[in-house]
Structure 1
Amino acid sequence: MQGAPITKIEPKIAARLAKQRYHLVGDHGGVKVCHWTKQSLIADRSCYKGTFYGIESHGCMQMAPNVDTCNLACTYCWREPHSDTLTKIDDDPYELFLESVRAHRRLLTGYGGNPKADREKWLDAQNPKHVAISLNGEPTLYSRLGEFLEICHQHGVSTFLVTNGSLPKVIEELDPLPTQLYVSVDAPNKEIFNRLCKPKFDTAAFEKLEETLELLPSLDTRTV
């Protein structure tokens, strides 16, 4: 199809993501406008980041470097089913950043002509000030995540990274660290974790999560 993005995501998954208004970028990445970005533009509302950190939601870009890849198959996950194989994801981080911003702008195009949208906010949103790396998949599977964070910071963009905590070595070696790191803790013990989160490739995923939690106090960044 003319104009379709070039991606290595499985065609069925890519088609479903596109139907859900994802814009695919790079080999495995994707961008989608956050609910709160929309709310900020048309209703002057913001998410908790506005309340606690003074962040304006219209300035946020929501993306992931690998929307099709996760090492868990959580029962409660509402995201599109991910690939059953782990593929090395090594998109050029600079190109991934640029493509993500371009995709974000395309997704916001319609708000420019929406009479309910705040024109000044819409113009400001063309150059995002924050990126939430939380859209889909497990971002620590992206082999060049540290470089991507650095490029974001070099462009004056703060980073909010959400992880399932299953790859503590990756988190420990991140340089730079994200502006804020979120670790999902969805079960109190291994038995419930395995039933609820269903690790796909690593039977020690819960122990790895525990390692990540032990690591958090030593990281020089905000953690949640």
Structure 2
Amino acid sequence: MPIPILQPKQDTCDSGCNGIPDGFIETAITDREAKLDFMRQKTTQMGYRFVGRHSAIKVCSWTKESIRGKNVCYKNKFYGIESNQCVQMTPVMFFCNFNCLHCWRNFDYMLPQKEQWDEPKHMLDGCIDAQKEILQGFRGNPNANKMKLEKAMVPKHVAISLSGEPTLYPHLPEFIDEIISRKMTAFLVSNGTRPDMIENLLVHQPTNLYISFYGTNPEMYRKTAVPMEKNFWENVNSSLRMLGRFDCNTVIRLTLSKGLNFTDPKGYANIIENSGSKFIEVKAFMAVGGSRRVMQYTDMPLHAEIQEFAAQIESSSSYRIISEKPDSRVVLLAREGKNFIGIE
């Protein structure tokens, strides 16, 4: 049977595109199932659409901007994806083993237990249907580009990055296979704490595999990512060392925050150099959504500071700066001798 899509009572958010209402975490109930129900209700009111038991989508602001003909995501500039045809989703909305201070979606994450996991095919169908249903609202928008809107109704890209840690979903390899089998591209963003799952993906490769990396030593990592499990440092580094074995585009993303991990560029360069990753994204933390509960606007590095940090990594490694997007405060570096796999 098709997976049901939970409809929102309202598709707005009072505190911004990805805002978290005041008291969201503080009023959450300690009983696990009651807490999950509470979180589903709150996030549905914020514009998230739930698909089945544990998956969700939210139309990205860049998708909306693209349909209006205004701007596109930096992934369009760097990797060629069409922002208006991108489905931003997660197979594990409330499940993560980190509670990163800089996370946009600070939902008081928990670890999965004995979950009933939805099948990949039905999950993908439900996510696409939910995205198309939301975008129907643009048909009455005079600022919408009609051609871009029509193309948006035929998604070409799935960003597995909305919330949570997707490698906690046990059927992730089959989900990626399902995406690729439909001639769509798949970008997977992981924190790298499940090296066994990363290794499984060697025979189920996405289009782009991201590993987010948050510090050059365990103490910095613990302060920034607030991990729930032991051995996080060893597991992340195991995943990083596997990146050179992948044929797909591999990316290490540094999300940098002042006062937490915006330091030691040579340390980052040394670790990244041993990974074999094709690309590095050096990106500023952005004070939006749930991160504003614990972070300040002054914690965001300026783009000029990100440029300088990237330049220091470049001078200490075999990676070279090849692109940037100032409005997203991100710089892209590529490893010398590595070929980029373009997106059709």
Q: TM-score, normalised by structure 1?
A: 0.92
Q: Match of 1:223, SS?
A: strand
Partner of 1:170: 197
Amino acid corresponding to residue 227 of structure 2 in structure 1 = P
Q: CA 1:38–1:68 in 2, change beyond 3 Å: closer, same or farther? A: same
Q: Is structure 2 residue 43 aligned with structure 1 residue 17?
A: yes
Q: How does 1:76-91 map to 2 (within 5 A)?
A: 76-87=102-113, 88=115, 90-91=117-118
* Residues 10 and 83 in structure 1, CA contact (< 8 A), matched pair in contact too: no
Partner Cα distance (1:101, 1:209) in 2:
31
Q: 75-84 vs 139-148, which deviates more?
A: 75-84
Larger relative contact order (CA 8 Å, sep ≥ 6): 1
Percent identity at matched positions? 37
Unaligned residue ranges in structure 2 (runs of 5+)? 8-32, 252-344
User: SS at the partner of 1:68?
Assistant: coil
State the AA in 2 paired with 1:193.
Y
Comparing 88-97 and 56-65, the one that deviates more: 88-97
Counterpart pick for 1:30 among 56, 69, 81: 56
Which has the greater radius of gyration?
A: 2
| Partner amino acid, structure 2, of 1:41 | I
Aligned counterpart in structure 2 of residue 157 of structure 1, from 181, 184, 193: 184
Cα deviation per residue 1:125-148 (whole Å; 9 max; x = unaligned)?
A: 111000100000000000000111
How many residue pairs are counted as aligned between the two chains?
A: 220
Q: Secondary structure at the match of 1:160?
A: strand
The equivalent position to 1:188 in structure 2, one of 216, 240, 244, is: 216
Is 1:198 aligned to 2:239, yes or no?
A: no
Question: Which residue, 210, 213, 217 being the options, matches 2:240?
Answer: 213
Match of 1:53? 79
Q: Distance in 2 between matches of 1:14 and 1:71?
A: 19
- Distance, in Å, in 2 between the alignment partners of 1:198 and 1:26 is 29
Deviations 1:84-106 (A, max 9, x none): 34234621000000000010011
Work out whether 1:138 is the aligned partner of 2:169: no
Question: Quick check: 1:13–1:80 contact (8 Å CA) kept in 2?
Answer: no
The offset of 1:83, in angstroms, is 4.1
Task: Please give the secondary structure, in 2, of the residue aligned with 1:120.
Answer: helix
Q: Secondary structure at the match of 1:10?
A: helix
Q: String of CA shifts for 1:53-83, please: whole Å, max 9, x gaps.
A: 2222101110000111001111222214244
Does structure 1 conserve the Cα–Cα contact (< 8 Å) formed by 2:5 and 2:49? no
Question: Which residue is 1:126 aligned to?
Answer: 153
**Contact 1:69–1:82 (CA under 8 A) maintained in structure 2:** no
Letter in 2 for 1:209: V
Q: CA deviation at 1:161?
A: 0.4
Q: After the TM superposition, which segments of 4 or more aligned residues of structure 1 sit over 6 Å from their partners? A: none
Q: Secondary structure at the match of 1:61?
A: strand
Give the TM-score taking structure 2 as reference length.
0.61
Distance 1:74 1:83 in 2: 10
Q: CA deviation at 1:43?
A: 2.7
TM-fit CA distance, 1:122: 0.8
SS of aligned partner of 1:71: coil
Task: State the alpha-carbon separation in 1 of the partners of residues 104 and 69 from structure 2.
Answer: 26
Tell me which of 91, 96, 103 is aligned to 1:65: 91
Unpaired runs of 5+ residues, structure 1, are none
CA change 1:219–1:33 in 2 (3 A) is same
Counterpart among 127, 133, 155 of residue 106 in structure 1: 133
Q: 1:4 to 1:221 in 2, by over 3 A?
A: closer
**1:159 aligns to what SS in structure 2?**
strand
RMSD (CA atoms): 1.8
Letter in structure 1 aligned against 2:209 = L
CA distance in 1, matches of 2:244, 2:110: 33
Alignment-derived partner of residue 117 in structure 1: 144
Contact 2:87 2:157 in 1 (8 A): yes
Higher strand share: 2
